[in-house]
Amino acid sequence: MQSVCAVVVSGGNGSRFGNPGGKQLVSVAGRPLMTWSIMAFDRSSHVGRIIVVCPANRRAEMRGLAVDPYEFSTPVAFADAGETRQASTRAGVLATPECFELVAIHDGARPLITTEAIDRAIGVLVSNPSLDGVVCGQPAIDTLKIAARGLISSTPPRSVFWAAQTPQVFRLDAMRRAHARAVEDGFLGTDDSSLVERMGGRVLCVESPRDNLKVTVPEDLRPVTAILLGRMSDAESAQDTGIISTPPIA
Higher pLDDT, 42 or 240: 42
For 22: left if phi > 0, alpha if psi spans -120 to 50, otherwise beta; the answer is left
**CA separation for the pair 111, 39 (Å, rounded):** 9
Q: Please write the tens of the pLDDT for every residue from 136-163.
A: 999 999 999 999 999 999 999 999 999 9
pLDDT at 235: 65
Q: Is residue 137 part of a domain?
A: yes
Q: Please write the tens of the pLDDT for every residue from 35-63.
A: 999 999 999 999 999 999 999 999 999 99
Higher pLDDT, 109 or 245: 109
The domain tally of the chain equals: 1
Q: Is residue 243 part of a domain?
A: no
Q: Is residue 244 part of a domain?
A: no
Helices and strands: H and E segment counts in the chain: 7, 11
The range of the structural domain enclosing residue 110 comes to: 4-238
Q: Is residue 248 part of a domain?
A: no
Q: Is residue 221 part of a domain?
A: yes
Q: Which amino acid is at 242?
A: G
Q: Please write the tens of the pLDDT for every residue from 82-112.
A: 999 999 999 999 999 999 999 999 999 999 9
50-80 burial: b if 16+ Cβ within 10 Å, else e: bbbbbbeebeeebeebbbeeeeeebebebbb
| pTM exceeding the 0.75 threshold for the entire prediction | yes
Q: Is residue 245 part of a domain?
A: no
**37 and 79 in contact (C-beta within 8 Å)?**
no
User: Could you tell me the CATH number of the domain that includes residue 80?
Assistant: 3.90.550.10
Helix, strand, coil percentages, rounded to 5, for the chain = 35, 25, 40
